[in-house]
């Protein structure tokens, strides 16, 4: 599905990273790799440093910390927030919505729109799409999009496919109307038949958590995980991404009447370094236009890797320049989404550390 | 080129004799991480980028299939 938005802009992006850092070198003994294989995969996949929350910290804690930072530094007036969107698959509770928990903790005004969206790796473009649509309302002038994940809780210590890559983070993106704004093009695609390619089988209403679902079991690849843990069919996800994302990007650029060279940066979700390099090769863009360094520095925090990519790699530039950027998210669902938009002259674009 | 392929396979999984196997995947000699390592080595050695859509287990089942994959991705015979 193609989407088009007029007169909308991002005015600020803040990434919140837990200060707690885990290094792959210290975890090697957990995984069934030889030492040589670990060192090789470290370079290829981007196994490196990951930011993970300490026990008890949730998505709402990261978001509240970041929003308080913006309020305290006069970068955002809480009374001007007309809508709060939280995109997460690691909510504090099933009931109520975590966005409402955040609303309460910050004592935000009652006259506002507040919702959770359950999306993972595609969550950044999906959250922005929702913000753009809400801004069509006369009484909504400023939308705050929160992306937050603490998925490290749900990845087995003995899962060498997911554990060395998984990080936690949150991001806050402020979206407003802009009468002089250029057209924003977007694409949303999905295939629910691939829902089990990335799944936490137990813990919901379909299969409630029990002692049995918490029991670790080994698979043929030497991973040990429980039904309560995240399960990823890595081969299927990799191949779906390589097949569908380049087509999506080509279609998006065609709709916007742009060539690949017209785009300043391709800021994509970062599951691992190998996948990003293969995508850049397939799409035909140089690696410096599609950064792939978020996983090795902070880990894969699902949809939060895109705003982290923006603040970490383009933070200074986006305060003064305006760049044409292609955003793309892809993963659980299966889903794959993209946006082509001008981003720049932001009020803030930086990263802060969450301290317990 | 086939000798080079065999050398990389042996480097990745020295415990196996790849010249004696007809299907590396079915016989459990290569897993997805080994394939990733092999692709990275082949890309670097031959100055190519194997198409991501072709990184499928069936294309790594024996030396001949890997050889054909390299040809398809631009390595001269």
Q: Which residue of B has its CA nearest to A247?
A: B53
pLDDT of residue A234: 86
Helix (H) or strand (E) segment spanning residue A12: strand A8-18
Average of per-residue pLDDT across B32-36: 89
pLDDT of residue A204: 95
> For residue A278, is pLDDT > 80?
yes
- Tokens found for residue A72: 């305290």
Q: Which of B28, B37, B52 sits opposite A37 (nearest CB)?
A: B37
Q: State pLDDT tens for residues A128-169.
A: 999 999 999 999 999 999 999 999 999 998 888 889 999 999
**Residue B71: band (very low, low, confident or very high) from pLDDT cuts 50, 70, 90:** very high
Q: Which residues in chain B have their CB less than 8 angstroms from residue A239's CB?
A: 52-53, 55-56
Beta bridge partners of A328: A268, A338
Domain containing B48 equals 2-15+22-72
pLDDT of residue A21: 96
> For residue A195, is pLDDT > 90?
yes
Q: Which residue of B has its CA nearest to A284?
A: B49
Does residue B43 sit within a domain? yes
Tracing tokens 């950027």 back to the chain, one arrives at: A325
Q: Which of A44, A220, A281 sits opposite B36 (nearest CB)?
A: A44
How far apart, in whole angstroms, are the C-alpha atoms of residue A302 and residue A88? Answer: 9
Q: What is the CATH number of the domain that holds B29?
A: 1.10.1200
DSSP string, A247-305: HHHHHHHHHTT--GGG-SEEEE--S-HHHHHHHHHHHT--GGGS---HHHHH-B-GGGH
* Dihedral (Cα; A255, A259, A260, A265), 10-degree rounding: -80
Does residue B57 sit within a domain? yes
Q: Which residues in chain A have their CB less than 8 angstroms from residue B25's CB?
A: none
> Do A242 and B31 make contact, defined as CB atoms within 8 angstroms?
no
**CB contacts < 8 Å between A and B, how many?**
48
> For residue A107, is pLDDT > 80?
yes
pLDDT of residue A221: 73
> Do B32 and A221 make contact, defined as CB atoms within 8 angstroms?
yes
Strands (E), A191-233: 198-199, 217-218, 224-225, 231-232
**Structural domains counted in chain B:** 1
How far apart, in whole angstroms, are the C-alpha atoms of residue A139 and residue A134? Answer: 9
pLDDT of residue A197: 94
Q: State pLDDT tens for residues B10-19.
A: 988 888 888 8
Q: What is the CATH number of domain A1-356?
A: 3.40.47.10
pLDDT of residue A256: 97
Tracing tokens 């969206």 back to the chain, one arrives at: A117
DSSP string, A123-168: HHHHHHHHHHHHTTSTT--EEEEEEEE-GGGGS-TB-TTTGGGB--
Q: Which of A45, A235, A281 sits opposite B49 (nearest CB)?
A: A281
Give every CB contact of residue A263 below 8 A, 6+ residues apart in sequence. A253, A285, A289, A324, A325, A326, A340
Judge whether B32 is closer than 8 Å to chain A, CB to CB: yes
Q: State pLDDT tens for residues A42-66.
A: 899 999 999 999 989 999 999 999 9
Does residue B77 sit within a domain? no
How far apart, in whole angstroms, are the C-alpha atoms of residue A336 and residue A301? Answer: 16
> Do A242 and B57 make contact, defined as CB atoms within 8 angstroms?
no
- The backbone torsions φ and ψ at residue A105, rounded to the nearest 5 degrees and listed phi first, read -60, -30
> Do A274 and B36 make contact, defined as CB atoms within 8 angstroms?
yes
More confident residue, A235 or A331: A331
The pTM of the whole model exceeds 0.90:
yes
> Do A243 and B33 make contact, defined as CB atoms within 8 angstroms?
no
**Residue A235: band (very low, low, confident or very high) from pLDDT cuts 50, 70, 90:** confident
**Rg (chain B; Cα; Å):** 11
Q: Which of A40, A234, A241 sits opposite B32 (nearest CB)?
A: A234
> Do B12 and A44 make contact, defined as CB atoms within 8 angstroms?
no
Average of per-residue pLDDT across A102-106: 98
**Residue A255: band (very low, low, confident or very high) from pLDDT cuts 50, 70, 90:** very high
How far apart, in whole angstroms, are the C-alpha atoms of residue A72 and residue A241? Answer: 40
> Do A279 and B52 make contact, defined as CB atoms within 8 angstroms?
yes
Judge whether B40 is closer than 8 Å to chain A, CB to CB: yes
Beta bridge partners of A325: A265, A341
């Amino acid at each position: 599905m193609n989407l088009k938005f007029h007169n909308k802009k991002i005015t600020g992006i803040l990434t919140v990273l837990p200060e707690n850092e885990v290094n792959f070198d210290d975890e090697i003994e957990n995984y069934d790799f030889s030492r040589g294989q670990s060192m090789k995969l470290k370079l290829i996949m981007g196994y490196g440093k990951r930011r993970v929350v300490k026990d008890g910290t949730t998505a709402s804690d990261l978001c509240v910390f970041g929003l308080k930072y913006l309020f305290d530094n006069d970068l955002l007036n809480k009374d001007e927030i007309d809508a709060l969107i939280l995109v997460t698959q690691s909510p504090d509770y099933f009931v109520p919505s975590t966005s409402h928990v955040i609303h309460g903790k910050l004592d935000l005004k009652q006259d506002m729109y507040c919702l959770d969206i359950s999306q993972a790796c595609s969550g950044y473009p999906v959250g922005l799409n929702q913000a753009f649509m809400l801004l069509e309302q006369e009484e909504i002038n400023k939308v705050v999009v929160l992306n937050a994940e603490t998925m490290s809780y749900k990845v087995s210590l003995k899962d060498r496919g997911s554990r060395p890559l998984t990080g936690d983070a949150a991001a806050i993106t402020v979206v407003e109307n802009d009468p002089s704004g250029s057209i924003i093009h977007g694409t949303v695609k999905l295939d629910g038949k691939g829902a089990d390619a990335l799944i936490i089988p137990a813990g919901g209403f379909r299969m409630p958590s029990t002692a049995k679902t918490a029991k670790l079991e080994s698979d043929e690849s030497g991973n040990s995980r429980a039904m309560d843990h995240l399960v990823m069919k890595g081969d299927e996800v990799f191949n779906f991404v390589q097949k569908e994302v380049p087509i999506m990007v080509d279609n998006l650029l065609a709709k916007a009447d742009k060539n690949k060279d017209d785009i300043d940066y391709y800021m994509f979700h970062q599951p691992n370094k190998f996948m990003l390099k293969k995508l850049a090769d397939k799409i035909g863009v140089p690696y410096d236009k599609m950064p792939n360094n978020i996983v090795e520095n902070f880990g894969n925090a699902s949809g939060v890797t895109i705003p982290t990519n923006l603040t970490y790699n383009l933070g200074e530039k986006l305060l003064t320049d305006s760049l044409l950027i292609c955003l793309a998210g892809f993963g659980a669902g299966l889903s794959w989404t993209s946006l082509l938009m001008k981003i720049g002259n932001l009020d803030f674009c930086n990263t802060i550390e969450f301290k317990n | 080129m086939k000798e080079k392929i065999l050398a990389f396979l042996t480097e990745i999984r020295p415990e196996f004799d790849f010249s004696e196997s007809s299907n590396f995947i079915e016989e459990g000699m290569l897993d997805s991480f080994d394939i990733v390592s092999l692709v990275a080595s082949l890309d670097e050695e031959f100055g190519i980028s194997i198409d991501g859509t072709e990184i499928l287990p069936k294309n790594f089942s024996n030396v001949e299939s890997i050889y054909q994959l390299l040809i398809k991705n631009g390595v001269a015979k």
